[in-house]
């Protein structure tokens, strides 16, 4: 009979991330009347905090759902059947969002990709200039492709859209980047920001968000895709008073309120730098081991996760199973066409140097136990890098 694990479980997948004890305690409060004055005060504070986090003066709409729900909400509120949408194969989730759009009856133009990089701003500009009749109604990109660890340069893509003079709505998925990687909805000219609770926001799964511009709200008035649960108009009207048109996930909202307090305490710039620092140290370890990073463009490396490719002939899922069994360490699997060829190390959310050292020690030892050829010393290289960084 297998022995039960002792000590803490290391959940180092790129989401859901570790939930801090203070957020768990905040969620343990009794549920209250979601039509009462106490809830209204909580609702207003949360919605104000989300606007600050997303970087917008406009509404941020909260749904009891996964991030997939926010994908759908972004599309059905702004588009009509047959509308043309420009999307990008940055990885598994870029493809998944495009498939959602296709199932809704949209005409998806999916730009092929090699799953090694983010969206190329020059390709965006080229595609939009070719669209002389301006048939694209929306452009949808992932800020951080969770399956690969590649970050798209959103502000540069916005400049490409502007240079092309194209009126399409600009939609950005920040499900794995919000609260971890620098992002500015208003400043970068985004029309719809999609996000969710279980990654940088340090909450359990169950909440999704859409930040919307005035242009997106205007588009929603003439869009004809069917919508009811995802309807923005009713949500925005109720949110003005701190309420929701249907029963909200009250205890998750308690946790979100505490999460937003934690963001203000640490400061967004400090949080962004912490993620950059941990990502750089992780990559130093990977390169010391002699392994290859999935993202092939250093300017697009993610602070949220690092995708690691194994040498040909070695099974990444077998290695992951070994680390789970021996060290109670969960690492992210390869998704889609990357299954079995790579694994993902999450270094996001409620995370510090010592947690990174332990994670990398488990990975290094697991690689050796799995007979994967590496050069030892990756953990020491990461420690030295963080000491140099300060």
Residue 3 reports pLDDT greater than 80: no
Residue 261 reports pLDDT greater than 80: yes
pLDDT in tens, 22-70: 999 999 999 999 999 999 999 999 999 999 999 999 999 999 999 999 9
| Per-residue b or e along 373-387, where b marks 16 or more CB atoms closer than 10 Å to that residue's CB | ebeeebbbbbbebbe
Contact between 90 and 218 under an 8 Å Cβ cutoff? The reply is no
Measured CA to CA, the distance from residue 318 to residue 333 in angstroms comes to: 10
> What is residue 87's DSSP assignment?
E
pLDDT in tens, 171-229: 999 999 999 999 999 999 999 999 999 999 999 999 999 999 999 999 999 999 999 99
State residue 357's pLDDT score.
98
Residue 264 reports pLDDT greater than 70: yes
Contact between 330 and 343 under an 8 Å Cβ cutoff? The reply is no
% residues pLDDT > 70 (the chain): 99
State residue 313's pLDDT score.
95
pLDDT in tens, 217-247: 999 999 999 999 999 999 999 999 999 999 9
Contact between 318 and 307 under an 8 Å Cβ cutoff? The reply is no
State residue 2's pLDDT score.
61
Does the global pTM surpass 0.85? yes
Nearest to 351 by CA among 293, 305, 284: 305
Measured CA to CA, the distance from residue 281 to residue 303 in angstroms comes to: 10
Contact between 194 and 174 under an 8 Å Cβ cutoff? The reply is yes
pLDDT in tens, 269-317: 999 999 999 999 999 999 999 999 999 999 999 999 999 999 999 999 9
Q: How far is CA 7 from the centre of its chain?
A: 28
What domains lie within the chain, and their CATH numbers? 21-264 (3.40.640.10), 267-389 (3.90.1150.10)
Residue 251 reports pLDDT greater than 60: yes
Window from 3-7, 107-111, 276-280, 355-359 with minimum mean pLDDT: 3-7
Residue 139, SS3 per DSSP: strand
% residues pLDDT > 90 (the chain): 97
pLDDT in tens, 309-331: 999 999 999 999 999 999 999 99
């Amino acid at each position: 009979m297998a022995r039960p694990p002792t000590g803490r479980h290391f959940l180092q997948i790129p989401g859901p991330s570790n939930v801090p004890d203070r957020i768990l305690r905040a969620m343990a409060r009794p549920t209250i009347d979601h039509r009462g004055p106490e809830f209204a005060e909580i609702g207003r504070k949360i919605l104000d905090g989300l606007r600050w986090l997303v970087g917008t003066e406009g509404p941020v709409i909260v749904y009891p759902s996964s991030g997939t729900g926010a994908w759908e909400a972004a599309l059905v509120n702004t588009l009509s059947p047959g509308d043309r949408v420009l999307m990008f194969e940055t990885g598994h989730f870029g493809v998944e969002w495009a498939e959602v759009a296709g199932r809704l009856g949209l005409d998806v133009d999916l730009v092929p990709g090699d799953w090694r990089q983010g969206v190329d701003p020059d390709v965006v500009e080229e595609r939009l200039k070719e669209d002389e009749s301006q048939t694209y109604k929306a452009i949808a990109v992932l800020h951080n492709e969770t399956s690969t660890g590649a970050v798209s340069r959103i502000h540069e893509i916005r400049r490409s859209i502007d240079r092309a003079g194209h009126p399409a709505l600009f939609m950005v998925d920040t499900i794995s980047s919000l609260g971890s990687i620098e992002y500015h909805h208003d400043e970068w000219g985004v029309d719809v920001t999609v996000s969710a609770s279980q990654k940088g926001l340090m909450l359990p799964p169950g909440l999704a968000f859409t930040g919307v511009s005035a242009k997106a709200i205007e588009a929603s008035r003439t869009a004809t895709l069917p919508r009811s649960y995802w309807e923005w108009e009713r949500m925005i009207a109720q949110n003005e008073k701190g309420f929701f048109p249907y029963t909200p996930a009250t205890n998750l909202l308690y946790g979100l309120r505490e999460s937003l307090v934690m963001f203000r305490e640490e400061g967004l710039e400090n949080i962004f730098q912490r993620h950059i620092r941990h990502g750089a140290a992780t990559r130093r370890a990977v390169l010391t081991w002699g392994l290859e990073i999935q993202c092939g463009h250093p300017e697009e490396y993610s602070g949220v996760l690092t995708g690691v490719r194994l040498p040909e002939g070695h099974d990444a899922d077998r290695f992951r199973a070994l680390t789970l069994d021996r060290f109670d360490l969960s690492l992210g699997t390869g998704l889609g066409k990357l299954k079995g060829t790579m694994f993902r190390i999450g270094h996001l959310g409620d995370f510090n140097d010592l947690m990174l050292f332990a994670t990398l020690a488990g990975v290094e030892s697991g690689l050796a136990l799995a007979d994967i050829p590496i050069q030892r010393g990756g953990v020491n290289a990461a420690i030295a890098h963080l000491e140099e960084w300060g």
